[in-house]
Structure 1
């Protein structure tokens, strides 16, 4: 049996032992009929009480993972659940996250069981989630978006709690995190830059770009960097506002909108003005929806379904790679 860790203060030692042995059985590191250390051997090797080991082995027997043979010891019985166990931890719930979730489930099918939790941009909450689930899953799929003020070293230390061969990062690349883990990410700065560059001919009628970036939003700041880069190269004015409500409409201005609420308010303001959408006022919205298609709104969006599908395929095929997720510009009459 490979050495296990028993150092999690959030979990009782009995549960830590059970989860660690279950994980080795389900990952094929402990094979059927393989002998486990005796209670005394385990107690001595890991410096835990004999009663603790006895309770853990009893729990494992009741769950069907191990059996005891008189005068011979404890042996692995086999896997209880043949499915791959996946913990998916989003930063928040949204319709786009649902696309990722649904795509993962559809691709994994009956071969995996996926549990979902939310860390709400808080690395400390993510740490609590991981502490109580370590060893219980084959893969930990995490969206590493955190508060803008979150300390980078704290965030990295939390992500390092997961062995690299079990870690999958979605949506945001973390270049400071070394190791051979899976990563399927957006490149927020350059994705938006190249999307705007693709629409450069249409953008010629606009003298300035306004990015509507909510004040208390936790969206990646790299979005601002990408828009600024485009404006500098194409000699356009650029400003960032926290709300459409603060902005007086000016002609020859294109707005880049992140949230649905700001998009709805902006459309209403344009309709109540004398300006023509797609001529004097332009609108680009983040992330595709049927609602935006029906309203003929230009969209820049990553492929959320492909993100979920790609993660699931790497799980099923045992692949480990870092890949940029597809990003698209969908031109419509609002530009």
Structure 2
């Protein structure tokens, strides 16, 4: 007998290994039906090994995961991959939903081509539940952060005598415009946070300057301009605030032609999110009534935004703004 073939004693040892592996082991034929399953695998499914024999693994699989399961089996059978690693859900006999991480590979035969695969099944249900709980907690914390930032921005409106709802309107329009420009969700979150805090630095501006109804003197205007640097310095102390959000706070008064403040940045050197926000902010300021001016009609404000393309604003962002129905995104309408 060739020494590389299992002896009867080896066969007994292999069977013991199969039975006592400490992990779920399942042999599945190329049609997807269970040929053999060890006690750990049967326990995972909440059935006996005899009851599971002959069942299709697809009948035990959560419906949404069936296409991925079929694809993984086909790739192993066709030899596209030597092993497929798959996280998927199964439905136990009692209806409980379980998560597994399975490793699937061909099961060689002593003679002839393989006609089955072996799947090693690890139960990761508790791990997935913990992961989902952490994700839910993260979403809750994110919502709390965003609510706090927006609340702070809206509180600033009261001191600055801004029209009610300015912060919320500009934030929503900015995000809508950013989405139309193809920004991903992480970048849009930075835009949202920066928009909420864009005038944070006005907390440091004296009332005599901030609330003055008439034209500011050169000295007063220099004091007013400090609000972007001061706002940036305050916002930078918020540990979870992204660099892109801080750029909105610092650079939303820069101008495309380089005559803005605080750093006199020019053109594309101005951070993209600040350029997006600036258009929405100015449009809302023009169409809002303030102590020193009446609200401009919608069309007059659009004409002004168009005229400032290439001067105050990025002309491509102006074009996108004017082409959007984002102007109608107005969760806090003007009174």
What is the TM-score of this pair, normalised by structure 1?
A: 0.22
TM-score (normalised: structure 2): 0.22
Write 1 or 2 for the structure with the bigger share of strand: 1
Q: Which has the higher contact order (CA 8 A, sep 6+)?
A: 1
